[in-house]
């Protein structure tokens, strides 16, 4: 994606965050575990160079009801000032809602009618300096958009169009994950805030609108168990510390960094700690990866090949490992030096 010049130099930014799409609020909860930086540090102005940030997220807000909704209405009237719009949860198709509506946030102050999330997106996305989709539901549709769903759910780019540009000239920024990895989200938000301050270049995104530095590698490439895979040593059940490809891990073909990054403070990261990768960050999730506990089709072939050459390499390494676990023979307490020293 091309990188336009940095033009913004904002010193104050609101973050308007709706989790009223088809959502479980899991991404908001996940983000409270971030430490690089923490959301508290960003809101309290403890990260040097960032604009002053005002966070409006219903789960983390002190205000409720009309007081909480006031900033959203102001933004829709262009009275709030620059803001980043964060969408959590997938977007239902309100064109097929029958007599009612699928999901809403707040009420129209005049009519008292519920305002759908789709209406909020229509009002706020074009006015936002940047638009961020947090979690796989918001990015690509996620669980709510799986086959057989009644709501016609979709991701934000499906709703707004892949060519959408915010008021700041940015494409939608997608940070997938179910939930989003906390530091992945905060690092992305921090980049955007530095960009808003005029201190960072255009955020680099791949063709699926993901930050390239976060989603450029596979789970497998960072997995603690990759050595077992290479040596053709596979887990037969979920109690094993070995590679889990034969019991359902999709890691070799999934773009996600949690095996490198961990989950909280560097700890965890699904396969590292015994959870198969079910590909929760992927646009094809969940349908293309089900049933979750079955061996992935590609895994059968690659693990069979790895079993042959990996098994042989493992045995040879076992011999070498035994050898290098023994000290050299000249380390002894006998009266004669046998180290090969030549005075």
- For ligand SF4, the binding residues (CB under 6 A) are 23-24, 26-27, 88-89, 135-137, 142-143, 177-179, 219-220, 223, 225-226, 229, 243-245, 249, 251-252, 254, 256, 258, 270-271, 277-281
Which CB, 80 or 178, lies closer to ligand SF4? 178
d(CA 272, CA 303) in angstroms, rounded, equals 18
The label of the residue with tokens 């009644």 reads 150
CB of 61 to ligand SF4, least distance (A): 18
CB of 235 to ligand SF4, least distance (A): 8
Residue number with CB closer to ligand SF4 (170 or 223): 223
Cβ atoms of 164 and 170 closer than 8 Å: no
Check: CB of residue 180 under 8 Å from CB of residue 217.
no
- Whole-number minimum distance, CB 258 to ligand SF4, in Å? 4
Residue given tokens 């070498």 in the structure block: 320
Q: Which is nearer to ligand SF4, 56 or 127 (CB)?
A: 56
Q: Which residues contact 118 (CB under 8 A, 6 or more apart)?
A: 91, 92, 94, 159
Pair of tokens at residue 149: 């769903």
Cβ at position 65, least distance to ligand SF4 in Å: 23
Give the DSSP per-residue string, 151-219.
S--B-HHHHH-TT---TTSPPPEEE-BTTB-HHHHHHHHHHHHHHHTT-S-PPPB-TTS-BHHHHSSBT
Any idea what the Cα angle at residue 232 is, between residues 230 and 236, rounded to 5°?
A: 125
Helix (H), strand (E) at residue 86: strand 83-88
We find the least distance from the C-beta atom of residue 98 to ligand SF4, in angstroms, to be 24
Q: Please identify which residue in the block is written with the tokens 């993901």.
A: 210
Q: Which is nearer to ligand SF4, 192 or 270 (CB)?
A: 270
Closest distance between ligand SF4 and the C-beta of residue 59, in Å?
12
3-state SS, residue 298: helix
Nearer to ligand SF4, 300 or 332 (CB): 300
Nearer to ligand SF4, 82 or 286 (CB): 286
User: Which residue, 54 or 242, has its beta carbon nearer to ligand SF4?
Assistant: 242
Q: Which residue is nearest to ligand SF4 (CB)?
A: 251
| Closest separation in Å from C-beta 311 to ligand SF4 | 16
- Rounded CA-CA distance 161/171 in Å is 10
Dihedral, CA atoms, 196, 197, 202, 206, nearest 10 degrees?
A: -60
In the bound complex, what is the minimum distance in angstroms from residue 83's beta carbon to ligand SF4?
21
136 vs 151, beta carbon nearer ligand SF4: 136
Q: If you compute the radius of gyration of the chain from its CA atoms, what whole number of angstroms results? A: 25
Return the C-alpha torsion angle 125, 131, 135, 137, nearest 10.
30
- Using the minimum distance from each CB to ligand SF4, give the nearer residue, 15 or 277: 277
CB 36 within 8 A of CB 183: yes
What is the closest distance, in whole angstroms, from the C-beta atom of residue 207 to ligand SF4 in the complex?
18
């Amino acid at each position: 994606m091309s990188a336009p010049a940095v033009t913004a130099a904002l010193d104050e930014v609101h973050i308007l965050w709706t989790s009223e799409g088809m959502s479980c609020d899991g991404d908001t909860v996940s983000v409270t575990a971030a430490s690089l930086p923490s959301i508290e540090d960003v809101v309290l102005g403890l990260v040097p160079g960032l604009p002053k940030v005002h966070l409006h997220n219903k789960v983390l807000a002190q205000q409720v009801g009309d007081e909480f909704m006031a900033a959203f209405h102001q933004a829709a009237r262009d009275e709030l000032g620059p803001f980043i719009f964060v969408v959590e949860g997938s977007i239902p198709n309100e064109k097929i809602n029958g007599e009612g509506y699928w999901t809403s946030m707040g009420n129209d102050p005049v009519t008292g009618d519920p305002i759908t999330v789709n209406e909020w997106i229509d009002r706020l996305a074009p006015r936002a300096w940047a638009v961020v989709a947090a979690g796989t539901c918001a990015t690509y549709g996620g669980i709510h958009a799986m086959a057989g769903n009644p709501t016609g759910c979709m991701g934000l780019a499906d709703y707004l169009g892949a060519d959408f540009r915010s008021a700041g000239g940015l494409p939608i920024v997608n940070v997938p994950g179910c939930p989003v990895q906390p530091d992945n989200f905060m690092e992305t938000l921090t980049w955007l805030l530095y960009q808003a301050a005029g201190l960072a270049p255009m955020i680099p995104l791949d063709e699926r609108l993901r930050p390239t530095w976060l989603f450029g590698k596979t789970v497998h490439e960072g997995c603690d168990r990759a050595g077992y895979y290479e040596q053709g040593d596979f887990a037969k059940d979920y109690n094993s510390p070995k590679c889990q490809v034969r019991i359902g891990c999709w890691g070799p073909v999934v773009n996600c960094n949690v095996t490198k990054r961990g989950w909280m403070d560097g700890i965890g990261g699904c396969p590292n700690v015994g959870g198969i990768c079910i590909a929760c960050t992927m646009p094809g999730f969940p349908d293309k990866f089900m049933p979750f506990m079955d061996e992935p089709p590609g895994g059968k072939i690659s693990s069979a090949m790895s079993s042959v050459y990996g098994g042989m390499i493992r045995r040879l390494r076992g011999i070498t490992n035994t050898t290098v676990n023994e000290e050299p023979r000249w380390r002894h307490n006998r009266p004669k030096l046998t180290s090969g020293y030549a005075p």
